[in-house]
Amino acid sequence: MAVPLLEMRHVSRSFPGVRALDDVSFSVGPGEVVGLLGENGAGKSTLMKILAGVYRADAGEIVWDGKETAFRSIREAQEAGVTLIFQELNNCPNLKAIENLFLGREIFRGSSPFLDGAAMRRKALELFDYLDVRIDLDVEVRLLSTAVQQMIEIAKALLTNVRLLVMDEPTSSLTDRETSRLFKVIRDLKQRGISVVFISHKLSEVFEITDRVAVLRDGRNAGEVDAKTGTIEELINRMVGRDLGSRAARVGNVKPGPEMLRVEGLCGPPLVKDVSFTLRKGEILGFAGLIGAGRTEMARILFGAAKKTSGRVLLEGKEVRIGSPRDAVALGIAYLPEDRKVQALVLPMNVRENLTLAVHRGLRRFRAFLSRKKEEELTTTYVTSLRIRIATQEQVVNNLSGGNQQKVVIAKWLATLPRILILDEPTRGIDVAAKAEVHRIVSDLAAGGVSIILISSELPEVLALSDRVVVMHEGRVKTVLEKDQATQQTIMSAALVADGVVVRA
Amino acid sequence: MHAKRDPQPGRNIARALVKSRESAIFLALILLMTVIGIAAPNFLGTGNLYLVSRQISFVAIVALGELFVILTGGIDLSVGSVMALAGMGAAYAMTIGVPPPFAVLLGILVGLVMGAVNGVLVAYVGIAPFIVTLGMLSFASGLVLGLTKGWPITDVPASFLPIAQGAFLGLPIPVWIAAAIALLAHLALSTTAFGRRTYAIGGNEQATFLSGIDVKRIKFALYLIPAACSSIAGIILVARFNSAQADTGKGWELDAIAAAVIGGTSLAGGSGSVLGVLIGACIMGVIKNGLVLMRVSSYWQTAIIGIIIVLAAVLDRAKRRA
C-alpha cells in the first residue's frame, strides 16, 4: 500500500465499566474501500466516532493525510474531508430534499443573506445526475424511501470536499436493487480517489464491494481478510472467535399441519392491492419482495394496525374481524415490527416491563393489580429459554445490545402464546451470533406448531428458513414458490419489474 | 442469567431511596425549610406550618391529577377553571337544599363531564391536548362567569365547612384528603396494569399500541383524573372560604404543572412519580409562604417562582445527562 490516507495507531478508549477499544489500529489508503466488521459492541462505531471527532481517544494517535490530528468535532472532521453517514440518517424529515442537501451549506446571492435558489438547484441536479439517481427535489424527505434519503446523504458529503466516506450499515434497509445502485456509486467514488469505510453485517456484500476487510472483536483487532481471496467462513470465525457451524440452517423440518390462516383478496391502498395466500400450522412462510412491495403494510393490516378496504381473513376456516392490534392479540396473532426501537420497545422501561407489556391480563390479581411475582417468573422463563443476556430484569432496555433487544421483543410476543407470529425483518441490525440464535428460535417455534410469516429483505435468511416463499410485487402476490423451487434467482426475477430493468449494476 | 432475588429487602429499599430522583429534591426541600426557618423564625411555628400544609394540600391534589396526563406526554390546562365550575356547582346545589355529601358528588360529576369532553377530543378526535384543554380553560371559566354573572355564592351550610376548616389528629382535613388521593394515585400508577400502560404510552405510544393495548381508551380515562382531582380541590376551597368565587382556580394550572416539573416529572412523558409531585408541591408552597414571611413584595414573588421552575427543569436536565 502507498502512503495511507488515514492511519489510526494503538487507539484505546474506555467508557464507565467498558473498555470499548483496546489498542486498535486501522488504516485506509487513498481510493481504497475498506470493510469494517465485528459483532455489535465490537467497537466499530466507537472507532469511527473517534475518527470523526465525536469522542476523543484515551490513548493512541490518528494520522490523517500524513499529519497527526485529533478532530474536535464532526464539523472539523468534515472540513478536513472525513464524513460519516450514520445508520440512522440525520436529516430533517419535514424539509424538502433540496433543503436538506444544502442545510448548513446554503449558497447565497453574493454576500447578501438571501438564498440563491437557482444556483442550489443547478448544483443539486448536477450532483444527482452524477450519482445517477432521479429525485424530486421539492418533496419532503420523510416521503422518500430510505435508499433515496441515503443518496441525499452521499450527495451532501460530495458537496464538501470529501476524501473519506464512512458508511455505517448503509444497506440494512435497502433492497438488492437499491444496494447494487449504491455499490455502483461507491465504485465511482473509488475511481475518483475517494476512500470508503464500509460497515455492514451482510458478509457477502462486504466481499462484493470492499478491497479488504478489517475485523474487530471485543474492542481489539481480530485480523484482516482479503476481499478477493477470503471466505465468509473465515470472516465469521474472526468475528466471533469460534466456529458457528452452518449458518441459518433449519432444524427439525417438520411437515406443516392443516391450514391455519387464509387471506383472500386483501386490499389496503395505496400499497396493498390484492393479496391472497394460505398459511398452515407450523409453517414458515417467507415473504420476499422489494421495499415498497407492500409486505409490511400487508402485515400491519393482518395485525389490525392499518385499515383494509376489502378482502377476507379466515382463521382456522372461520372469518374473523381484526379492527385493532388488540383484536389480533386476542385471536392469537403477534407482530414483530421492523423497527424495534420505534415500534416495539418502550426504551426507558426495563426488561420485565417490556416483556410483560402484551400480557397484563394474565398477570393481574383482583382484576386490576399486576402481580410482581408472576411478572418475574414469566420474565425468568423467557430470559432463560431465549438466552437473553441481561444483568437483572430491572435493566432498562435502551442499554441492551440490538440482539438482546430483539429477543426481548420476541419474548414479549411468545408470552402471548401466539398461533400466528408475523416477523418483519427480525434480524435487521443485529450481529451474526444473535442472528443465528434468532433463526434457531424461529425454527423451534415452527416445530412447536406456531405458524410464522417471515418478512425479510435478506434472501439467504428467507431461503434457509421458509417452507414456501411468497414473492410480492407492487402490492400483489406475484408468485408462491415451494421450497425446492425457491432460489435467489427465482425470487429476484419474480420480485423485479419485467420490462427493461437490469438486476446487476 | 436470573434476576437476583435480594435476601434483604429492607436494605434494598434504603439503597433505592438514596439513589432515587426524589431524594435529591427532598433534600432541596429540607434545605429550603432550614434557610427560610433561619431567615423568618415564625415560619417553623406550629400555627404557620398548619396553614402552609393546608395550602399545599390544595395544590398537591390538583398537581396529582395533572401528573397522570403529563405522564403520557399530554397536559391539562383546564384544571383551574374546572375547579371553579365544580365548586360553583356544589355550592349551588347546597343552596337549593341538596345535602352536602350529594352536592359534593354533583360537583365532581360536573367536573368529570368537562374531563370527559377533554378526553374524547384528545383520544378519539385526535386534537393536541394543549389546544383542547386551552379551549376548555376558556369555556369552563366563561360558563362560571356567565351563569353567576360574576357574583359569588355565599350561603353555604355550616355543616359543610369542616372539610376545609376542620382538623383530624392535629392536621387539617385537606391534608388527609390529599394524602388519601396521593396513596390512591401511587397505587394506581405503580401496581396496576392501568398505571403500567400509562407510563408505557409516555415512553413509546406506538409500541404500546402495537402491543395490543387500547391506547385511546386509556388516554380518555386519563383526562377524567385531573378533572376529578381539580373538582375535589375546587369544592374544598368553597368550604375554605365559606363561598364559591367565580375566579377560584385562576392560574392554578401553572402552579400544578410547576409542582409536577419541580418534582421531576418530564413534560415529554414517561417519567414522574407521586412522591416527586408531592415534594414539588411542598417546595412551591414553602417558597410562597417563606417569601410572604420575609416580606418580599408579591410582585417579586411571582418572578422568584418563575426562576425556581426553570431552575428545577435545568437541574433535572443536568442530572439526566450525568
Q: Please tell me whether residues A453 and A484 are part of one structural domain.
A: yes
Q: Give, as one character, the DSSP assignment of residue A442.
A: H
Q: Please tell me whether residues A274 and A388 are part of one structural domain.
A: yes
- A246: confidence class by pLDDT, cuts 50, 70, 90: very low
Residues 6+ positions from A170 with CB-CB distance below 8 Å: A85, A150, A182, A198, A200
Residue A504: per-residue pLDDT: 35
Average pLDDT of chain B is 89
The whole-angstrom distance between residue B314's C-alpha and the CA centroid of its chain comes to 22
Q: Is the pLDDT of residue A256 over 80?
A: no
Q: Which residue of A has its CA nearest to B188?
A: A369
In a domain, A250, yes or no: no
For the beta carbon of residue A269, count every other beta carbon within 10 angstroms: 11
Residue A244: per-residue pLDDT: 44
Chain B residues whose beta carbon lies within 8 Å of the beta carbon of residue A370? 191-193, 196
Nine-digit cell string for B177: 384528603
Q: Which of A361, A370, A390 sits opposite B192 (nearest CB)?
A: A370
State the amino acid at position B120 in one-letter form. V
The count of structural domains within chain A is 2
H or E element in which residue A334 lies: strand A333-336
In a domain, A481, yes or no: yes
- For testing contact with chain B, the best of A15, A349, A410, A413 (most B CBs within 10 A): A349
Q: Which residue of B has its CA nearest to A397?
A: B203
CATH classification at residue A339? 3.40.50.300
List pLDDT tens digits, range A261-291.
Answer: 999 999 988 889 999 999 999 999 999 987 7
Dihedral sign (CA B152, B155, B161, B165): positive
Task: Return the axis-axis angle of helices B193-203 and B215-241, rounded to nearest 10°.
Answer: 110
Chain B residues whose beta carbon lies within 8 Å of the beta carbon of residue A339? none
Residue A22: per-residue pLDDT: 92
pTM for the whole structure: 0.78
**Alpha helix stretches (DSSP H) within chain B:** 9-19, 21-39, 46-71, 79-95, 100-119, 129-148, 162-165, 173-191, 193-203, 205-209, 215-241, 252-262, 274-293, 298-321
Average pLDDT of chain A is 87
Residue B12: per-residue pLDDT: 60
Chain B residues whose C-beta sits inside 8 Å of any chain A C-beta: 1-4, 191-194, 196-197, 199-200, 203-204, 206-214, 270-271
CA atoms of B276 and B272, how far apart (whole Å): 7
Task: Please state the rounded mean pLDDT for residues A41-55.
Answer: 87
Nine-digit cell string for A219: 474492542
- A250: confidence class by pLDDT, cuts 50, 70, 90: low
- B14: confidence class by pLDDT, cuts 50, 70, 90: low
Residue B321: per-residue pLDDT: 61
CB contact under 8 A, B3 and A368: no
Q: Is the pLDDT of residue B224 over 80?
A: yes
Residues 6+ positions from B191 with CB-CB distance below 8 Å: A369, A370
Q: Please tell me whether residues A183 and A265 are part of one structural domain.
A: no
List pLDDT tens digits, range A96-138.
Answer: 989 988 888 888 888 888 888 899 999 999 988 888 778 888 8
State the amino acid at position A85 in one-letter form. I
State the amino acid at position A65 in one-letter form. D
Least confident of B86-90, B177-181, B275-279, B302-306: B302-306
Distance of residue B35 Cα from the nearest chain A Cα, in angstroms: 36
- A501: confidence class by pLDDT, cuts 50, 70, 90: very low
- B320: confidence class by pLDDT, cuts 50, 70, 90: low
Among residues A396, A348, A399, A340, the alpha carbon closest in space to that of B269 is found at A348
Task: Please state the rounded mean pLDDT for residues B287-293.
Answer: 90
- A467: confidence class by pLDDT, cuts 50, 70, 90: very high
Among residues A321, A318, A286, A325, the alpha carbon closest in space to that of A303 is found at A325
Listed ranges A105-119, A483-497, B181-195, B246-260; the one with the highest mean pLDDT: B181-195
CB contact under 8 A, B196 and A391: no
Nine-digit cell string for B194: 392501568
Q: Is the pLDDT of residue A87 over 80?
A: no
H or E element in which residue A375 lies: helix A372-385
CA atoms of A495 and A295, how far apart (whole Å): 12
Dihedral sign (CA A61, A65, A69, A72): negative
Cell 374546572, located at residue: B82
Cell 470536499, located at residue: A161
Whether B22 and B279 have beta carbons less than 8 Å apart is answered as yes
Q: Please tell me whether residues A58 and A181 are part of one structural domain.
A: yes
Question: CA torsion A184→A189→A191→A192, rounded to 10°?
Answer: 150
Q: Which residue of B has its CA nearest to A398?
A: B203
Q: What is the secondary structure of A393-426 as a DSSP string?
A: TTSBGGGS-HHHHHHHHHHHHHTT--SEEEEEST
Cell 437557482, located at residue: A118
Walk across the sheet containing A33-37 and list its strands. A82-85, A164-168, A195-199, A33-37, A212-217, A220-226
CB contact under 8 A, B203 and A392: no
Residue B1: per-residue pLDDT: 36
Distance of residue B178 Cα from the nearest chain A Cα, in angstroms: 22
Residue that is last in its domain, among A186, A210, A240: A240
CA atoms of A356 and A412, how far apart (whole Å): 6
Chain A residues whose C-beta sits inside 8 Å of any chain B C-beta: 303, 305, 324-326, 328-330, 335, 337, 342-349, 352-353, 357-358, 360-361, 363-364, 368-370, 376, 379-380, 383-384, 389-394, 412, 416
List pLDDT tens digits, range A177-205.
Answer: 888 888 998 999 999 899 999 998 777 88
The second-level CATH assignment, the architecture, of B42-321 is: Orthogonal Bundle (1.10)
Among residues A314, A290, A341, A266, the alpha carbon closest in space to that of A420 is found at A314
Q: Is the pLDDT of residue B3 over 60?
A: no
Q: Please tell me whether residues A125 and A170 are part of one structural domain.
A: yes
Q: Which of A305, A353, A394 sits opposite B210 (nearest CB)?
A: A305
Task: Return the axis-axis angle of helices B215-241 and B46-71, rounded to nearest 10°.
Answer: 160
Nine-digit cell string for A93: 424529515
In a domain, A184, yes or no: yes
CB contact under 8 A, B206 and A379: no
In a domain, A445, yes or no: yes
Q: Please tell me whether residues A232 and A300 are part of one structural domain.
A: no
List pLDDT tens digits, range B80-136.
Answer: 999 999 999 999 999 998 999 999 999 999 999 999 999 999 999 999 999 999 999
- For testing contact with chain B, the best of A357, A393, A404 (most B CBs within 10 A): A357
Residue B139: per-residue pLDDT: 96
Query: Radius of gyration over alpha carbons of chain B, in Å?
Result: 20
Task: Please state the rounded mean pLDDT for residues B143-150.
Answer: 91
Among residues A207, A200, A204, the alpha carbon closest in space to that of A48 is found at A200
Distance of residue A304 Cα from the nearest chain B Cα, in angstroms: 9
Q: Is the pLDDT of residue A385 over 70?
A: yes
Residue A247: per-residue pLDDT: 46
- For testing contact with chain A, the best of B197, B211, B271 (most A CBs within 10 A): B211
Distance of residue B83 Cα from the nearest chain A Cα, in angstroms: 29
Q: Please tell me whether residues A232 and A307 are part of one structural domain.
A: no
In a domain, A362, yes or no: yes
Task: Please state the rounded mean pLDDT for residues B236-262.
Answer: 91
Residue B2: per-residue pLDDT: 42
Chain A residues whose beta carbon lies within 8 Å of the beta carbon of residue B194? 368
Delimit the domains of chain B by residue range: 42-321
Chain A residues whose beta carbon lies within 8 Å of the beta carbon of residue B71? none
Residue B19: per-residue pLDDT: 59
Q: Please tell me whether residues A274 and A204 are part of one structural domain.
A: no
Whether A281 and A448 have beta carbons less than 8 Å apart is answered as no
Whether A353 and B196 have beta carbons less than 8 Å apart is answered as yes
CB contact under 8 A, A353 and B200: yes
Q: Which residue of B has its CA nearest to A380?
A: B2
In a domain, A264, yes or no: yes
Of residues A150 and A379, more confidence is placed in A379
Whether B75 and B226 have beta carbons less than 8 Å apart is answered as no
Q: Please tell me whether residues A235 and A114 are part of one structural domain.
A: yes
Q: Is the pLDDT of residue A403 over 90?
A: no
Of residues A146 and A158, more confidence is placed in A158
CB contact under 8 A, B203 and A346: yes
Residues 6+ positions from A408 with CB-CB distance below 8 Å: A345, A351, A354, A355, A388, A397, A400
- For testing contact with chain B, the best of A302, A369, A388, A414 (most B CBs within 10 A): A369
Q: Please tell me whether residues A354 and A425 are part of one structural domain.
A: yes
Q: Which of A348, A358, A370 sits opposite B203 (nearest CB)?
A: A348
Q: Please tell me whether residues A114 and A220 are part of one structural domain.
A: yes
Task: Please state the rounded mean pLDDT for residues A78-83.
Answer: 90
Residues 6+ positions from A374 with CB-CB distance below 8 Å: A362, A363
- A23: confidence class by pLDDT, cuts 50, 70, 90: very high
Q: Please tell me whether residues A236 and A354 are part of one structural domain.
A: no
Domain residue limits at A65: 6-240
Residue A367: per-residue pLDDT: 76
Listed ranges A68-77, A173-182, A430-439, B124-133; the one with the highest mean pLDDT: B124-133
CA atoms of A207 and A231, how far apart (whole Å): 8
Residues in chain B: 322
Distance of residue A21 Cα from the nearest chain B Cα, in angstroms: 22
Cell 405503580, located at residue: B190
Give me the phi and psi of A96, to 5 degrees please.
Answer: -70, 165
